[in-house]
Amino acid sequence: MAKDFGLGIGVAAIIFLAVNGINLFPMVLLGGLGYFLFNSLNKQALGDNFAISNKDDNKVPKVDFADIGGQDSAKNELLEALEFVKSKEEIKKLGIRPLKGLMLSGPPGTGKTLMAKAAANYIDSIFISTSGSEFIEMYAGVGAKRVRKLFKDARDKAKKADKNNAIIFIDEIDVLGGKRGSNSSHMEYDQTLNQLLVELDGISVDDQVNVLVVGATNRIDILDEALLRPGRFDRIVKVDLPDREGREHILKIHTHNKPLAEDVDLEQLAKETFRFSGAQLESLTNEAAIMAMREDAETINRNHFKEAIDKVMMGEKLNRRPNKEELKRVAYHEVGHALLGEIVNPKSVSNITITSRGRALGYVRHNPEDDYYLQTIDYLKNQIAVLVAGSLVEEEILGNRSTGASNDFEKAIEVTKQIIFSGMSKLGVVSKDSLPGKLLHETISEIIAGQEELVRREIKVNSEFIHQVVEILLEEESITGDDFRGLLSKNKESVA
């Protein structure tokens, strides 16, 4: 009504000015240009062009929970929550309110997005996918409008597809749901989060379409408390890195369509891929297949997987190559790490190489016998010994150290701090905030010095063995853990 009234006044003014002989062309031209610019900016600001990432929202992704390996605990918890969504009539009889939100929390590549897609398939729902960054704009009110539009689209598309459920998947929800007040210069973040909270509160058991919001994040620590309280995101599902059995399951899933040679042992591969995520394991099987294709091999063998593990962990081989003296130093350094690794944890060394990859001139791949969730002081001290062994071999045999050990020392200091702040040092239970810097430095130095003493003794006892392995490395560039252990066993027999 007001728009029509304003339009009428505008037309009357134009007629009046024309009758009085005023040239209206410049005014009409400027007015038209201004109207066009205003509409363009307004559309952008109000989010009229906002598009959900998933182009075909009516089509449920063909992902099943059977396609997700290594996450049995997370899957079971998610399936239990989804049963409440499927059994809407039963939960109404028992007076149970619907679940409004599920938060999937875990490191990148662990299968959070796959789980959301599998959930949509399991409850036969509409699946709308977006990310936290799509709601943040410089214009006031845009994010809140987009949140409202997202929930409206979910309900409309579910009705159009004649379905009772809709899943809204928000990846990287920490961008949208960070603690309010942390962006003091940009209140748009807080307004957008407020709107999301309002929409979650508006979900009811009597709704024609049951909307379930699934969020995914690897930074759950920065999320606003109001978002995580019961009644909004009711369940927090931890999607962690897979354990050894989980890694084996994932490898079976990703190799079922690949021709494997008889020497490929997936159980052993699972041991050698300690702390690999599901995405890394998928990349591993793909890289191994690519290497087999390059060699025109009919099957993927153990060496292809061995090379693929190194590539996923460290990157592609580099064209640059250290000079002869540097290569010799790298070989001694890596043999030092391998020797102490095998002494403190027998059968843990998988491979030693002086081939440059990524930022590493050489490296030793260690494989623990099992996944550990608790670490003792002996275990941590052994890790320090392995870390400092490379530089100490350089010093004892070559006469000095090099800058190549700087990263090892940083890791050794972090492990030492872990000992101190876990109450396992001579200081007892201490506070990070109140511990004087000088005392911290002295304690760190004392702990590391104690491990250096142990390492020096082992180097002196095994000096001939170290020279022997270095010669092999300089000639062949790598040596397997089994060959390394065979040489070490012979050396122990000769010394005895």
Dihedral over Cα of 458, 459, 462, 468: its sign? positive
Torsion, Cα of 61, 65, 69, 70 (10° steps):
130
Residues in Cβ contact with 96 at an 8 Å cutoff, skipping those fewer than 6 apart: 84, 205
| Alpha-carbon span 266 to 247, nearest angstrom | 9
E-state strands within 298-379:
349-353, 363-366
Distances (CA, A) of 211 to 51, 55, 85, 175, 348: 19, 19, 9, 21, 49
Under DSSP, is residue 350 helix (H, G, I), strand (E, B) or coil? Answer: strand
| Alpha-carbon span 60 to 58, nearest angstrom | 6
Catalytic residue among 248, 272, 334, 342, which?
A: 334
Angle between the N-to-C axes of helices 324-344 and 377-393, in degrees from 0 to 180, rounded to the nearest 10 = 160
Structure tokens at 285: 């099987």
Length of the chain: 496
DSSP annotation of 67 reads G
Q: How far apart are the first and last CA of the chain?
A: 102
Nearest to 193 by CA among 238, 155, 228, 158: 228
Q: Please indicate whether residue 89 is annotated as part of the active site.
A: no
| Alpha-carbon span 194 to 373, nearest angstrom | 38
Ramachandran category for residue 124: left, alpha or beta (phi over 0 → left; psi -120 to 50 → alpha): left
| Residue type for position 235 | R
Structure tokens at 94: 């028992």
Nearest to 362 by CA among 414, 318, 305: 318
Structure tokens at 129: 């996918």
Catalytic amino acids?
334
